[in-house]
Structure 1
Amino acid sequence: MPQLPADRRETWITGIGLVSSLGDGLEANWDALRSGRVNVDLERYAPWMIHPLVPLNLDSQIPKKGDQRQMEAWQRIGTYAAGLALDSAGIKDDQEILARTDMIVAAGGGERDLDVDAAILTARADGRSGALNERLMNDLRPTLFLAQLSNLLAGNISIVHGVSGSSRTFMGEETAGVDAVRIAWAKIASGQSEIALVGAAHNGERKEMLMLYECGGFNLKKDFASVWSRSGGGFALGSGGVFLVLESRPHAERRGAKPFARLVNVVSGHSSRAAPGGVERTLEGLWDSLGVTENSTAIYTAATGAAVATREEAAFLSAHRDVPVRAVGTSFGHLSEAQFPLALALGSLSISRGALVPPNDASGRETEIGLMPAQIVAVGVGHWRGEGMALIEAAS
C-alpha cells in the first residue's frame, strides 16, 4: 500500500451522484451494469448513435420550476446529479457544511444555436465572399453567449443546493474532468479545503455536437460495438451527470460519514501526440508515479473509442496484461468532461461493494476475475488531448 507523505492528508470519497442512459442513481446504474444492459439509440440521429438519458423527476432535486426553465439541459442534468451526490454524502440539508463546501466543475461551452451553425456552414460551402463576417455580425448576439457560459452549472448548483464555498470551472473536454478531480483532491490533501463537490455533466442528444465531432471524424456510426471492438474507431455520445463529494478523513470522521473509497493520488499529463507512441509513453509515466500495487489492481478506463487515442491506450494496457480492465464508455457512451469522473465514481462504487462490474466486451480485453483487487485505477485519455489517472482503494 502506498504511504502518504507526512504532510498529505487522507482524502475520502463520501458521496456519489450519478444519472445516465442506464438509470437514475447508484442502484439503478449498478443493477444495469451487473446485467450488462446498454441503452443506445440507433434511430433518432441515424447513422449516428447516442446513449440517451433516462427520464428524471427533476422536481426531486430542482424543486423550483423557474430554476428548471432557465437552465439548458446539461445544466439540469448536472444540478440534478450534484443534488444526488450531496444526498449520498449526507450533507444535502446541512447549511453550515454547504456554506464552506468548495466546488470544482468541468464544463463545456453550453449549447449552440444549430440554425446559425448550419447557415454558416452552408454559406461557406457556397463560397460566397464575406459570408462568415456577415453571419458573425448579424447572428451572434451577445445574449447567445452570455446565456451559455460554462460556469453557469456551478452557479445553478450554488443557487439550488446552497453550495457556497469557493468555486472553479474548468473547460477542456475530457482533460477538464481529470483536472477538476486532481485540483479538488490536491486542495483537500494539502489542507486548503476540508470538503469539495467535484464533477461534470454532458448532454449528448444535441445535433450540433454530432455535427462538430463528425467534422473531426470521431462519431461512431451505423453499428454499435464495444469500445475495444470498433475497427474504424469512434464514440457514441452519451448523456449523464457525475458528481463526487471529496472530504478529508478527519472532517468525515467528525460527522460520522462512511466513505465509498479512499482517493490516494491523482496525476495528469499532456502528450504531444505528434508522433506515434506519445500517449502510451505518457500513460506509463503516470502509472509509475501513481503508487500502484500492480498485482492487486484493476482499471476502470474512460477510453473514448477514438481511433488513435484508444489504440495507444490499448497498447499501454497490453503491457499490463495481468491487470483486469473495464471500459465505461461501452455501457454509458462518451460523456466528454464527465467521462473521467464517471470512471472514478464506478471504481469507488466497486470498492465499496467489493466487486467489479462484469465484462461487457467480446474482444477478450475484458476478463472475469476471481478475487476483488485492493486498488482500482481510473484512467482517462482524451479523444484529442490530455491524459490522467486516479488511484483509489478501500478506506481503512
Structure 2
Amino acid sequence: MRENAERDSTALAAELGIEFDRAAPGLPFTIHTANWERLHHALAAAGLRVQRLHDAHSNAAAAAWSVCTSAAPTGGIADLRGCGAVWQVFPGGLEALVDAQDFNGTVDAVYTWVDANDPVWYGSYQQQLRAAARPAGDSAVNLARFASRDELRYSLRSLEMNLPWIDKIYLVTAGQRPAWLAEEHPRLNVVDHREIFSNPDQCLPTFNSHAIESQLANIPGLSEHFLYVNDDVFFGRYLHPNTFFGPVGQAKYCLTKGHFAEAEDLGLPINQAAANNRQVILEHFGRTTSRKFQHVAHPQRLDVHRRIHKDLGSRIAEIATHDFRAATDLSIPSSLAHQYAARLGMGYPTSVKYQYVDIGTDSFHLDMLRLARNSGLDMFCINEVLSAADPNRRSHVVSEFLSASFPIASSFEK
C-alpha cells in the first residue's frame, strides 16, 4: 500500500517537473512549500487521499502529509495515515535534507517474545518452577507474564505501518517461532537465547526477562541505535526518528510522575529492580534515582549497554543465571540504561502521548473503552501483571481491539 502510494505520488511529481528529494530510504519525501501546493492539488485530482500528519517530522519541515491510494481502508479505530507515502514540506530550500536538530541514523528494533501455549516451553517452565520451589501465584513467576494473545503480530503491524524507517528487526526467543511469522524476510532475524547468552549451558532455559534483557548487547549485527520493544507495546500513529533520538543520537526516554519507592508493593520485581538500579547509579555516579519509566518502546544506545557490561560484568553474569526474576536483578533496557545514558550525556527525557492498560485490573473494561476513544496516541501498552479472574473474556476484548486497530497484515506475516 505504501509502495503504491510512493510510486503514484512521485510519478505525478516527476510528470509535473516538481523537484523533491529523500534523505534516506524509509524516511519521508522532502518538497519545497511552493511546489507542494501544486502537487497537493494534482494528487487530489488524481484520486489520491492527502491527509495532514501531526508534528512527527523533520525539524526543518513546516508540515508533513500522508498520501494514500483510494484502496486504503478508512474509518474504524485505527489511524491508517502511516500506510501512505509521507511528504515533508520545507519552507526553505532543499540544499540540505536534514535539520541540525534531526536524527537520521540507522535504527533497529529488538523484541523479546515467548509463547506460553507451547507445550515444550510449558513443560520446561513447570519443571523449573518445581525445582525453584516458587509458588505459582508469585508475581515473579506468574504465568500471566508469558501469556500470548498474538500481541506480537499486531505490534509488528503497528511498527511497520508507523515506523517505516526501522532497519533490522531482531526477535529474541527461546527457540520458538510464531506459526504466522514469515519463514524468511530480509529485515527480520529470529535470535535464539543460545546465540546471545555468554554461558548458555549454565543459564538456559530461563524464564526471567531481566536475565534475557541483560544479554541484548550480544545480538550479532545489532546497530548502535535501537528500540527495545515488548510485544505488548503498540505504535498508534506515524512517528519520526526524532521521537526517539536526539540530534547526535541521544536516547530520548519517557519518565513517569510516579516514584517507585512510593509503590504499594515494594516487593514486586519491578520495584526491587528499580531499587537495585538506584544503588548502582549511586555507586558509580554519586546520584540517586527516583522516578519510574513509561512502558513504551525504549530507545537504546549499544555503547551504553557495553559500558554497563564493563562496569557490572560479574553482576550481569549472575543475573543471567536467574531462571526466574530475583530480588537482586537489574532492569537494564527499561531503566538502568536510561539512567546511565543520562549521566554519560547520551540520553535525556522527553514526553509522548501514551496510555497504559493492565488486563488484570477491575477497571479493565473501562480502560479499554477509553483506549478505543483516545485517538492521537503515539504509543500504548496492554499489559498483564497478574492473571485476571475471567481471562478468556478479557483476551477476547484485547484481540478484537487489536484486530480492529491494526487490520492490515504486515510483510512479516505468511
TM-score normalised according to structure 2 size: 0.29
Flag the structure with larger Rg: 2
TM-score (norm 1): 0.29
- Bigger relative CO (Cα 8 Å, ≥ 6 apart): 1
